[in-house]
Amino acid sequence: MKISLIQPGRNNLKYLRWSYDSIRKNQGEHEVEICVADDASTDGTWDWCLEMMDKDPLFKAHRNEGPDRLGHTILYDTLTNEVATNDIAMIYHADMYLCPGALDAIEREIKEGVIVSLTRIEPPLHPDGPEKVLLNCGVEPEEFKEQVVIDWVAKNKDSKVTEGIFAPWAFYRKDFQEIGGHDPLYAPQSKEDSDIFNRFQLNGVKFKQVWDGFVYHMTCRGSRRNTVDKAVDIHTDSPEWLAQNMRSTRNFIRKWGHFVMHDKLMKPIVPNKYNIGIWVHNANYSLLNTLEPWADYINVLEMDDKEVEKYIETEQPNTIIPIGPRINTFQKVDVFVKVDGKTFDQGDFGIIQQLSQILDQTEDLGEYQIGNLFINIFKLQKYTEDLIKL
Mean pLDDT of 255-276: 98
Look at strands 297-299 and 88-91 and give their pairing. unpaired
Q: Which residue has the higher pLDDT, 242 or 382?
A: 382
For residue 225, what pLDDT is reported?
A: 59
Q: For residues 354 and 350, give the distance between their C-alpha atoms in angstroms, rounded to a whole number.
A: 6
Of 255, 250, 252, 291, nearest in space to 274 by CA? 255
Q: For residues 362 and 365, give the distance between their C-alpha atoms in angstroms, rounded to a whole number.
A: 8
**Confidence tier at 50 by pLDDT (50, 70, 90):** very high
- Find out whether 226 and 192 touch, Cβ atoms under 8 Å: no
Q: For residues 86 and 174, give the distance between their C-alpha atoms in angstroms, rounded to a whole number.
A: 11
Of 117, 108, 121, nearest in space to 153 by CA? 121
pLDDT digits (tens, 9 = 90+) for 151-168: 999 999 999 999 999 999
CATH of 2-256, one of 3.40.50.1580, 2.40.30.30, 1.20.120.10, 3.90.550.10: 3.90.550.10
Of 120, 95, 268, nearest in space to 196 by CA? 268
Of 24, 179, 161, 68, nearest in space to 106 by CA? 161
**Confidence tier at 107 by pLDDT (50, 70, 90):** very high
Contacts of 51 (CB under 8 A, 6+ apart): none
- Find out whether 303 and 283 touch, Cβ atoms under 8 Å: yes
**Confidence tier at 386 by pLDDT (50, 70, 90):** very high
pLDDT digits (tens, 9 = 90+) for 307-349: 999 999 999 999 999 999 999 998 999 999 999 999 999 999 9
Phi, psi of 227 (to 5 degrees): -70, -10
Residue 85 exposure: Cα atoms within 13 Å on the Cβ side: 9
pLDDT digits (tens, 9 = 90+) for 178-205: 999 999 999 999 999 999 999 999 999 9
For residue 278, what pLDDT is reported?
A: 98
Q: For residues 292 and 290, give the distance between their C-alpha atoms in angstroms, rounded to a whole number.
A: 6
Mean pLDDT of 81-93: 98
Residue ranges of domains in the chain: 2-256, 276-387
Q: For residues 211 and 232, give the distance between their C-alpha atoms in angstroms, rounded to a whole number.
A: 34
Cis omega (within 30 of 0) on the bond before 141?
no
- Local structure of 93: helix, strand or coil: coil
Q: For residues 244 and 189, give the distance between their C-alpha atoms in angstroms, rounded to a whole number.
A: 7
